[in-house]
Every structure is written in structure tokens, then in C-alpha cells.
Amino acid sequence: MKEYMFQSPARIHFGRGAVSKSGTEAARFGKSALVVTGKGSSARTGSLDAVLASLKAAGVAATVYAQVESDPSVNTVEAGAKLARENGCDVIVALGGGSPLDAAKGIAMLLTNGGKVTDYEFKSPEKDGTPIIAVPTTAGTGSEITRFTVLTDTDRKVKMLIQGAGLIPKVALLDPELTLSMPAHVTAGTGMDALTHAIEAYISKIATPMTDVHALEAIRLIGENLIKAVHGPENMQAREGMLRGQMHAGLAFGNASVALVHAMSRPLGALFGIPHGQANAMLLPVVMDYNHSAAPERFRDIARALGENVDDLSLRDAARTAVLSVEELLEETGLENRLSAFGVKESDIDRLASDAAVNGSCNFNPRKPDKEEIAALYAAVL
């Protein structure tokens, strides 16, 4: 057994009402919070009010930055850092889906390390960012507990993956009540993103016994709860299952990385604006089909975690069952399963495949794909 490292986040509160800890947790780190959130939904659903009330009760001042778009841009992050400096903010509360959380990480990084976002495209920030209390309102990205942020350079149409231990939020408040208001397509997209994290971490070349435990538990929970949450938005048990599932997925891929699906979905987001979870969902079955022969035992485990009985099947068929099971799941979510629905044309595949082939996540895939193979995978879901 080779030596390995598992980076765990500092503190996780899980359960209904966890959002009410925002104030006391923020007060451990500072007196003035920048609250980073999206452009509307957290105000509409009342989650922003819950955070602000908790901060007030704990005596922490709040500056609200409710300007984060989906796929947050470098400009949004730099404007947020400027606002934080002007108001002397010494702690950040990040509230919302993956986009506000990723934007908050970028802001936190700039506040302590200085410079521009693009300075960190290929090098990790040296210093820990300003402390972040992360409060997710979707069940998918795992951003509240990972060391990654994905920020978009709109000039170059590139999604940059920036990483460093200093980007991990100090506290994650996982409150399933905040996820109840997610519309079905967001539940489906973010849930499929989390499933992709878990599956890619489990088949990753750098998976370890510690990431395996989290990955399999994530696959089990998501397999059991995703469709229930999509079709029964008020189903609290399913919402809890999904939130816990995506957390385990975050712990897994935060250490074992993601692989080819993510390498291929990033250019779809950068060039066509396809939401991250939706892009992963479309690609996941076809990429699993490409990968399953390279790690059949792992895919058999995935099939079992998804509740399939594969005891009487050959190893090959058991592995293939995992692919079919995810295909079925995708269909039941009601998400799109064709790139053409988003305006992608055959003539776009060359550029997409070039971008995906140089993406670092390819290195962790059980099969090392070349550009032609990646192009064929895009073509299969066109």
C-alpha cells in the first residue's frame, strides 16, 4: 500500500436549521462579513434573511454582495474582493449553489494573496484565504468542502480550475431545509453532478481506501434519493439523503479528483453555457461505457452501490450494468441527453475535443484518452 494523504475540511454542521450557526461560526473568525450570494434566489427563498439574522444576533456586521452569476467570472470575483476591502471584511459567508461558493473562494484568495485571479491559473495561492463559512443551497457541487474553485475568464472563454488547501472553507453548514426550494431541473442537474463526482473519484487513478468509503456511500445515497427528490421536492428525507450524498462525494473527489467527464464538460460550459450538472449528466453514461472495461471490478462495485443485483453476472456484464443503471437514472431525471439541444454542432467537436484533451482531469481517468477518442465520445451524444 502506497502512502496517501486525505485532506479533510475543518468543521461540518449537518441538519435542519444548521444555517442558524452562520453568526456564531463567523464570529470565531471576524467582526465584519462579506455575504456572497447569487442574484435573486437566496433573497426570494428567505435563506439570505436567515443568514443575516444569525450574523446580527452574533454581533457580526454584514455587507451583502448579491451579484454572482452562474459560472462566476473573473470580473465578478475581482469586484467582490474590492467591495470586501472597502468595507474591511475579515470573514466571508458564501450562500447559494456552486457559483456563489466558488466566487467566494476566489474573493477569499485575492484578499490574502493579492494580484489578479488569472495569476493563480497554474499555481496554487500560497496563503490561506480569508475564512469562509459555506452554506450550500443546492445538493451537488461539494464546493463547501473542497479545495477547488472553477472561475470563468470570459475574454478567453475558458473555465479555470484553481486549487489549493487554502481555498477550503473553514466551516460548512449543510442544512437540507435550504435545498427544499430547488426546482426539479436544478435538483436533477446538481444531483447528477454529485453522482459524477462520486463515480469519477471511485474510478480515479489516485483513489485511496479513504476516498473509496466516501465515494461508495455517495453513490448509494444519490442512487436511492435523486429521483425521489426530483419528483418530490418537499421530501425531506430525500433532500437530506442528497445533501449528505453530495457531501460524501465532495470528500471523495476533493482528494481523488474527477476525471474525463469533467474534462469534457468544462468546455461545454465555457463555450456553450451548458449548466455544469446538465453537461456532466449527458456525458456520464457514454464516458462510463468508454471506461468500464479498464476497471471492471470498480464498475461492478458502482452497480451494487446503485442497488443493482449483479451476483449472477459475469464481471463484464456486472460492470456494464453500472452504465445501464446510470443511463436509466439520467432518463428518469428528465434532463436533456443530447448536445444538439444546446446548439452544439458537428463542426464544434474539434474545438471541444482539443480543449478537453489538455484538461488536467484526463490524467486521473482509468483510460488515457486521445483527442480522437474524446471527439468520438462527444459525437456519441450529439
Q: Which residues bind Fe ion (CB under 5 A)?
A: 193
Which ranges of 161-273 does DSSP label H, i.e. alpha helix? 184-203, 209-231, 236-256, 260-272
Query: Which one-letter amino acid corresponds to residue 353?
Result: A
Please report how close the Cβ of residue 277 comes to Fe ion at its closest, in angstroms.
7
Comparing every residue's Cβ against Fe ion, the nearest one is 193
119: Cβ contacts below 8 Å, ≥ 6 apart: none
Whose CA is closest to 365, among 205, 252, 253, 216? 205
Please report how close the Cβ of residue 53 comes to Fe ion at its closest, in angstroms.
31
State in Å, rounded, how far the first CA of the chain is from the last one.
42
CB 294 within 8 A of CB 202: no
42 Rama sector, left if φ>0, alpha if ψ -120 to 50, beta otherwise: alpha
Instruction: Return the ∠ at Cα 85 (arms to 80 and 87), rounded to 5°.
Output: 95
Please report how close the Cβ of residue 358 comes to Fe ion at its closest, in angstroms.
18
User: With respect to Fe ion, which residue has the nearer C-beta, 25 or 193?
Assistant: 193
Q: Which three cell numbers stand for residue 295?
A: 476497471
Kindly give the pairing relationship between strand 158-163 and strand 148-153: antiparallel
User: With respect to Fe ion, which residue has the nearer C-beta, 27 or 270?
Assistant: 270
Query: Which one-letter amino acid corresponds to residue 211?
Result: T
The single-letter DSSP state of residue 292 is: G
User: With respect to Fe ion, which residue has the nearer C-beta, 33 or 226?
Assistant: 226
Please report how close the Cβ of residue 276 comes to Fe ion at its closest, in angstroms.
6
User: With respect to Fe ion, which residue has the nearer C-beta, 249 or 349?
Assistant: 249
User: With respect to Fe ion, which residue has the nearer C-beta, 97 or 125?
Assistant: 97
Please report how close the Cβ of residue 141 comes to Fe ion at its closest, in angstroms.
6
Please report how close the Cβ of residue 314 comes to Fe ion at its closest, in angstroms.
32
Q: Which three cell numbers stand for residue 271?
A: 463555450
145 Rama sector, left if φ>0, alpha if ψ -120 to 50, beta otherwise: alpha
Instruction: Report how far residue 95's alpha carbon sits from residue 71's, in angstroms, rounded to the nearest whole number.
Output: 15
User: With respect to Fe ion, which residue has the nearer C-beta, 97 or 296?
Assistant: 97
User: With respect to Fe ion, which residue has the nearer C-beta, 90 or 193?
Assistant: 193
What backbone phi and psi angles, to 5 degrees, belong to 115?
A: 80, -160
User: With respect to Fe ion, which residue has the nearer C-beta, 175 or 200?
Assistant: 200
What backbone phi and psi angles, to 5 degrees, belong to 132?
A: -115, 135
What backbone phi and psi angles, to 5 degrees, belong to 309?
A: -90, 110
